Amino acid sequence: MSSRAPDKHLRQLADGNQIPQLGLGVWQIPNGPMCVKAVRWALELGYRHIDTAQAYGNEESVGRALKESGVPRDEVFITTKFWPGSRDPVAEAERSLERLGIDFVDLYLIHWPQGGPTWAWPGMEQARANGYTRSIGVSNFDVRELDEVIATAAVAPVVDQVQFSPFEYRRKLLDGAGERAIAVEAYSPLGTGRHLGNRAVQRLAARVGRTPAQVLLRWCVQQNTIVIPKSTHRDRIEENSRIFDFTLSAEDMAELDALDETGATDRALEEKWW
């Protein structure tokens, strides 16, 4: 059934480009065979969105998997992120494209606002103008930091990728991004695995006849975010893609909303790591 297929669920970004609502995240997968396999499995299973970053060190494996898969380049949405410990988003984009073995990425994000939220943005705009990326955005930016970028931008960010799950609900950030036509992407939607063991999540999953992972991911979808779970196991990558053939009720959603531990914050992070 096509409506179940992950590649059929697209979201339009404010710049007119379309992004599949589900992607495979490859944070913490080492460069090499494990990463190549995970990405190939995802593409076989119908994923059409892969999320990597310069800081992950595995762009080369993502590129290899894409090539080996035989899936046409224009059918796959590829995101990478500028590592802000470096100075030049344009030069670093060129290096990313070389490692990925492609001519452009679909989305290029500032990975975090190290050194302030605005200094790298002109370089991001230049990377887009050069055709190195179709869309540009940010990651780990608070609402206040989004406003700083927007105030100086010629081209506004269309995405803010943040840690997001029922436990990190960040409702004011989600609402604030929405008001600014910025789509939220949810990273660590499973809490890097630890939310899967939560009793309330497990009870709800049993009640709706789904797995805890599917419930957490479906919650993200119904919050209108783009979601990028990570797994290196084929069966889990498949399980995580089966989230478009059921709906959580308003009561289910409210039960999950209530797990928020951020106080509905507009902050992207509880603590900085840089």
Catalytic residues: 56
Helix or strand or coil: residue 232? coil
Q: What per-residue string of b and e applies to 93-129 under the rule 16 or more CB within 10 Å gives b?
A: beebbebbebebbbbbbbbbbbeebbebbebbbebbe
- Looking at residues 15 to 74 of the shown chain, list those that interact with ligand A2P (rule: CB under 6 A): 25
- H-helix or E-strand containing 51? strand 49-51
Position among 188, 225, 241, 262 found at the interface with ligand A2P (CB under 6 A):
188
Q: Contacts by 66-73 with C-beta closer than 8 Å and gap 24+? A: 66/39, 66/100, 66/101, 66/102, 67/101, 68/36, 68/40, 69/39, 69/40, 69/43, 69/44, 71/43, 73/102
Q: Which is nearer to ligand A2P, 174 or 213 (CB)?
A: 213
Closer Cβ to ligand A2P, 26 or 124, answer by number: 26
Subset of 208-267 contacting ligand A2P (CB under 6 A): 213, 229-233, 236, 239-240
Of 26 and 183, CB closest to ligand A2P:
26
Least separation, in Å, of the C-beta of 194 and ligand A2P? 8
What whole-number distance in Å separates Cα of residue 274 and Cα of residue 84?
10
**16, 17, 18, 24: CA torsion to nearest 10:** -150
Q: Which range, of 49-57, 81-89, 185-193, 244-252, touches ligand A2P by CB under 6 A? A: 185-193
Shortest Å, Cβ 123 to ligand A2P? 28
Q: How many CB atoms lie within 10 A of CB 146?
A: 25
State how far the Cα of 272 lies from the Cα of 60, in Å rounded to an integer.
28
The minimum distance between CB 129 and ligand A2P, in angstroms, equals: 33
Among 65, 184, 189, 255, which residue sits at the site for ligand A2P (rule: CB under 6 A)?
Answer: 189
Q: How far is the CB of 233 from ligand A2P (least distance, A)?
A: 4
Question: With left for phi above 0 and alpha for psi between -120 and 50, is residue 146 left, alpha or beta?
Answer: alpha
Stretch that binds ligand A2P, among 69-77, 79-87, 175-183, 188-196 (CB under 6 A): 188-196
* Binding-residue total with ligand A2P (CB under 6 A): 17
- Alpha carbons within 13 A on the beta-carbon side of 18: 10
Closest CA to 213 of 196, 199, 197: 196
Compare residues 128 and 230 and give the one whose CB is closer to ligand A2P: 230
Task: For the segment 190-219, give every residue that binds ligand A2P (CB under 6 A).
Answer: 190-193, 196, 213
Nearer to ligand A2P, 136 or 215 (CB): 215
Nearer Cβ to ligand A2P, position 25 or 63?
Answer: 25
Residues that bind ligand A2P (CB under 6 A): 25, 188-193, 196, 213, 229-233, 236, 239-240
